[in-house]
Amino acid sequence: MKFKLLYFGDILINPKKRAQHIADIRMQFHPQLKKLLEHSPWNNLTQYMTPNPTKSPITTRHIGGIDWNPIITPNLKLIAELDIQMLHPEIVGVPRSDIDNRVKTIMDGLRCPQNEHEIGANTPRDIGPIYTLLDDDHLITKLSVNTSHLLDAGLFANHEQCTPDSIFMMIDVNVRVAEGTLENLPFMV
């Protein structure tokens, strides 16, 4: 099963407030993933999530007083393959284009926080569960990254987060079944 996630904004390599930066990235993916769960077969996952899960295994994680609902979890025996298209205003190949650390930052933004220290101070606590792609990044079994020069950053000129270091990303997610179970049967297509 495949779908696409979009991201636009900064991906800082070593920010002073790393937890908050990762939380800001997570919050760009949250509404996209929440919308995904409104459509078949993804809506089958909601029966395993808080609030009011109706079936086991429950996939919700409770960390820092927030319910986190990952889409891809070991409980459901799901794994992910990611194909990332990263467009940035820098010329490809210049020393400033630090791809490996940017990829690490985006991977952290796609997963649930692992402890309270990874939750940013400004993470909303009153919006209900927060949806993430991954329970943990060890569930990624394949990763490819393609970088390109964003030729017209003016496309995003009216966007409030637009800076000279802004990156536009398209992440193709291929969800696969690691081991067939009744719970993940809808994803064996």
pLDDT grade, residue 85 (50/70/90)? very high
What pLDDT was estimated at residue 133?
97
- Read off the amino acid at residue 169: M
List, for residues 90-149, the tens digit of each pLDDT value: 666 655 557 888 899 999 999 999 999 899 888 888 888 999 999 999 999 999 999 887
C-beta of residue 124 within 8 angstroms of C-beta of residue 23: no
Q: What is the mean pLDDT of residues 19-46?
A: 93
What is the rounded CA–CA span in Å between residue 174 and residue 158?
32
pTM of the model: 0.88
Strand pairing category for 2-9 and 167-177: antiparallel
